[in-house]
Amino acid sequence: MIESVFRTYPHLRTEAVRPVHHGWANQVWIIGERLVFRFPRHAESRRELMQEMQVLPSLAKSLPVPVPQFLYRSEPDAEVMYVGYEQIPGEPLTKAVFSLLSAPEKFEMAETLGRFLTLLHSHLPEVELPIFAKADWATFFDQIEASVFPVLTPHERASTSAMFSAFLQDPANFMYTPRLLHGDLSCDHLLAQSGKLSGVIDFGDLRIGDPAYDFVGFYVEYGADFTQQVLKHYLLPQDDQFWSRVSGFYTQRLPLHSILYGVETGSELHVQAGLHQFRKGLGN
């Protein structure tokens, strides 16, 4: 895989190389501790990477923090597809890293994230992107019924059905103005350095959808109070059900994604981790 890069850019062959063993969509390699190369794992992640290459150049100009700028890329029809960019300084903003921030640093972090999402959600991409709407949540529930229900107890199945039914049957949950979303603002994709947000990475889930969705990672990783601080610096309108979707359905269904991924890929680790979080949420 990495040989494809060296064939096109032989001057990089002299630098140290190491793989990064995580990521559902991409295999990642670091070259010279300064360049990040991403290789999509399957057809869907190839499509997502093409989206990034089309949207990020114009989007980057309007954002308050650095995002990947692809300096290296494979040919469009290459069998092995990849992109490479300068590594953005910083470390993932995990719960542990966040807990060490001072109160003023957390305030500034919230302000920066609020500005980031205001500008991201205001951006009008020049290319057509997937639209994630009510029908997609219904399809997701069909997948859960088919693949995840077999590993759940009858009580857990009933709770899951009730959760999706309540969400899908309430028209107020779909009264938002669709916006451009990052789609995966977990702590792994937020970088911090010296107490500040130093970059945002992995825009593979770019889509048009509910702006509340981009706040779920903050709620899960850093808590309700910090998420409310981010929202104070978010300058776009919020519909009446905005917060209830962040703190309710969008957060509650997260473990189901892990279970589904584990079932589909044969990863018992993901299945068990998802079940643990799901049952914890149910109070089991």
**Domain ranges, ordered by start, for the chain:** 2-86, 91-282
Burial category of 186 from C-beta neighbours within 10 Å (exposed 0-12, middle 13-18, buried 19 and up): middle
Q: Which pLDDT score, from 0 to 100, does residue 22 have?
A: 64
Q: Which one of 3.40.50.1390, 3.90.1200.10, 2.60.40.10, 3.30.1330.120 gives the CATH number of domain 91-282?
A: 3.90.1200.10
- Count of other CB atoms within 10 angstroms of residue 54: 16
Integer CA distances (angstroms), 128 to 53, 57, 89, 211, 212, in order: 13, 15, 31, 18, 21
Residue 78: the pLDDT is 84
Under DSSP, is residue 255 helix (H, G, I), strand (E, B) or coil? helix
Residue 132: name the closest of 182, 84, 80 by CA.
182
Task: Kindly report the CATH class assigned to 2-86.
Answer: alpha beta
Q: Are 209 and 203 in contact (CB under 8 A)?
A: no
Question: What order do you get walking across the sheet with 196-200 strand by strand?
Answer: 91-92, 190-193, 196-200
Contact 16, 4 (CB under 8 A): no
Rounded to the nearest 5°, which phi and psi values hold at 27?
A: -95, 135
Find out whether 242 and 176 touch, Cβ atoms under 8 Å: yes
Quote the tokens at residue 16.
């140290």
First-to-last C-alpha distance (Å) of the chain: 44
pLDDT confidence of residue 21: 67
Provide the edge-to-edge strand list for the sheet that holds 70-73. Answer: 17-20, 26-31, 35-40, 83-86, 70-73
Nearest to 121 by CA among 212, 197, 254, 227: 212
pTM: 0.93
- Reduced DSSP (H G I as helix, E B as strand, rest coil) percent helix, strand, coil of the chain, to 5: 55, 15, 30
pLDDT tens for the 284 residues of the chain, in order: 899 999 999 999 999 999 986 667 788 999 999 999 999 988 888 899 999 999 999 999 999 999 999 999 998 788 889 999 999 999 999 999 999 999 999 999 999 999 999 999 999 998 999 999 999 999 999 999 999 999 999 999 999 999 999 999 999 999 999 999 999 999 999 999 999 999 999 999 999 999 999 999 999 999 999 999 999 999 999 999 999 999 999 999 999 999 999 999 899 999 999 999 999 988 76
- Tokens 């009264």 belong to 175
Q: Do 5 and 57 contact (CB within 8 A), yes or no?
A: no
Task: Give me the torsion for CA of 237, 238, 240, 242, rounded to 10°.
Answer: 160
3-state secondary structure of 97: helix
Question: What is the pLDDT at residue 23?
Answer: 67
CA atoms within 13 A on the CB side of 156: 23
By CB neighbour count within 10 A (0-12 exposed, 13-18 middle, 19+ buried), where does 144 fall?
A: buried
Question: Alpha-carbon Rg of the chain, whole angstroms?
Answer: 20
